[in-house]
Structure 1
Amino acid sequence: MPWITLTIAGLLEIVWATAMKQSDGFTKPWPTIVMLVGMVASFWLLAVAMRELPLGTAYMVWTGIGAVGSFILGIILMGDPVTPLRLLAAGLIVAGIMTMKIAS
């Protein structure tokens, strides 16, 4: 169950990071509200998952999900550049997440 909780926390990190970008420096109220709610929910679920998972594992997986998910949404929604080096970097993060899960 802590892994499911951690995964949802990571997905909410993607939500709040995307909403932060769309808030245009907190000048747009709805994306700002989505960002704040997403942040609180994401941090809360991370804290719940940390009751059973090691700190380093939980934090690394949480940030990895958020980073890679935001990277993908940036490409899909915002036209962020896709280069071989950026794809390699994202792949290394995914490999790190998978390794950390196996090691736990």
Structure 2
Amino acid sequence: MDHPGRCIHIGDRESDIYELFCSAEIGAHFLIMAGDGDHTIADEMDEVAVKGLHHIEVRDSNGDPDQAVLEIRYRKIRPAADRKAEALSRADPDG
């Protein structure tokens, strides 16, 4: 990656892998994921106020112009894999 700071990773629960988290260590600033656990990223984002709007010009199924409006929300979160790795590192290897 020539410019990892310009990368935005977007993935579903299937992309919840170690290599993807390592991308954050080389300067990728955003890691956006979704999950199907008890508490999801969607749950987190429901608690955050809209910080901005982004309007995108699109065409509908008939080819007519339309507009999509994206709500921009963000917050710093700690990925579940990070918490799991921390718990494993504290585990008693002789236990």
Q: Give the TM-score of the pair, scaled to structure 2.
A: 0.28
Give the structure with the higher percent helix: 1
Q: Give the TM-score of the pair, scaled to structure 1.
A: 0.26
- Report the structure number with the largest CA radius of gyration: 2
